[in-house]
Amino acid sequence: MRIVLHEVGPRDGLQAEKSVVDTGTKIRWIERLIASGIDVIQVGSFVHPTKVPQMADTEVLFRWFQAPERKPRTTVLSALVLNERGLERGLACGVDMFCMGVSASETHSLRNTGMGIDEATRRILAMAATAVGEGKGVQLSVQSAFGCGHEGKIEPAKVLAMVRRFVEAGFARISLADTAGFAHPAQVEYLFGSLREMDPELDLACHFHDTWGMGMANVWAALKSGVTYFESSFAGLGGCPFTTITSGNVCTEDLVHMFHLSGLLPHVDVGPILEVSREAEKLFDRALPGRLLRTGPMPSGGSFPASAPGLEKDRAR
């Protein structure tokens, strides 16, 4: 089993910020994230600029990195799309992988996309099929899978039924997103364990926010449950503007540091990520949530091997 790191800072990390980051700065940050060896970087989303001004230059960014002399050799560039127009724009500017999702909360779905769950699911599945037909990677997610700031508890059976529709339509890379930060480790183990029972061959991804300080504990619970794709944001930036409490993502450099101590993610260098986080902290003129920004790496005599099944292959990479 190989661990894959999906950096969502340029999209989820910046979308809630009031100060718009200029395109040149974003390019410099993405270049450093690529240099760190991160596997996937979510460059942006195709949304209306009046709703999310930070994402107004997403097409410009993708076209910049599609130039032959600048196209990453190993890093996949992803984007979030919410509707057919977003997919069209993404296909036109060279997105490598499309992330598409449906909220398990009717209220959040309506606020985020203007669609109810059933309509959003039908349209997302059709869009995903189109993207695959164009030779693109696709990740389908259930948003607000662990709880909703508007509706509170989300029944696990509802989440599993939504995933089953994705799987029956032929999609195997599935993410559960903790959009409102409500997840806790026991819940993470239960839901991802249930997905493993549904189909052991699924490529499982997780996306956690740190609203109540359980983000890293949830990451570890997901790892032990067989999740291989981990989404995070440099400096712990981020949050959905359409939920009740906007809180940051699990911090990328903190996550990489924890995995390094367990002998995981050897191909990712934390140094360039920390450089980006320090620049972001200076730009936004406030202390950001990342712990490594304050403490630096833990003094250690060496890594300690993790005990989740199959991880020895990742350590030997």
Residues designated as active site: 240
Per run of 10 residues, the mean pLDDT along the chain (length 317 residues) is: 93 91 98 98 94 95 96 97 96 98 89 87 97 98 90 92 98 95 96 97 96 94 97 87 63 96 95 98 94 89 62 49
Q: Is residue 90 part of a domain?
A: yes
Q: Which two tokens stand for residue 223?
A: 């790892």
CATH number at residue 213: 3.20.20.70
Q: Is residue 166 part of a domain?
A: no
Residue 259 is part of which domain span? Answer: 4-98+173-182+203-315
User: Residue 68 half-sphere exposure, CB side, CA atoms within 13 Å?
Assistant: 0
**Burial environment of residue 300 by CB neighbours within 10 A (0 to 12, 13 to 18, 19 or more):** exposed
Report the distance separating Cα 126 and Cα 211, nearest Å.
Answer: 33
pLDDT at 48: 87
Report the distance separating Cα 113 and Cα 299, nearest Å.
Answer: 45
Domains held by the chain: number: 1
Q: Is residue 69 part of a domain?
A: yes
Question: How many Cβ atoms from other residues are within 10 Å of residue 56's Cβ?
Answer: 15
pLDDT digits (tens, 9 = 90+) for 87-110: 999 999 999 999 999 999 987 888
Element (H, E) at 162: helix 156-168
E-only strand ranges, the chain:
4-7, 40-45, 76-80, 97-103, 137-143, 173-178, 203-208, 229-232
Nearest to 272 by CA among 32, 109, 45: 32
pTM of the predicted structure, to 2 decimals:
0.93
Q: Is residue 189 part of a domain?
A: no
Residue matched to tokens 């239960």: 190
Q: Is residue 131 part of a domain?
A: no
Report the distance separating Cα 95 and Cα 76, nearest Å.
Answer: 9
Q: Is residue 167 part of a domain?
A: no
Report the distance separating Cα 103 and Cα 112, nearest Å.
Answer: 9
Q: Is residue 230 part of a domain?
A: yes
pLDDT at 107: 79
pLDDT digits (tens, 9 = 90+) for 134-183: 999 999 999 999 998 777 899 999 999 999 999 999 999 999 999 888 99
Q: Is residue 282 part of a domain?
A: yes
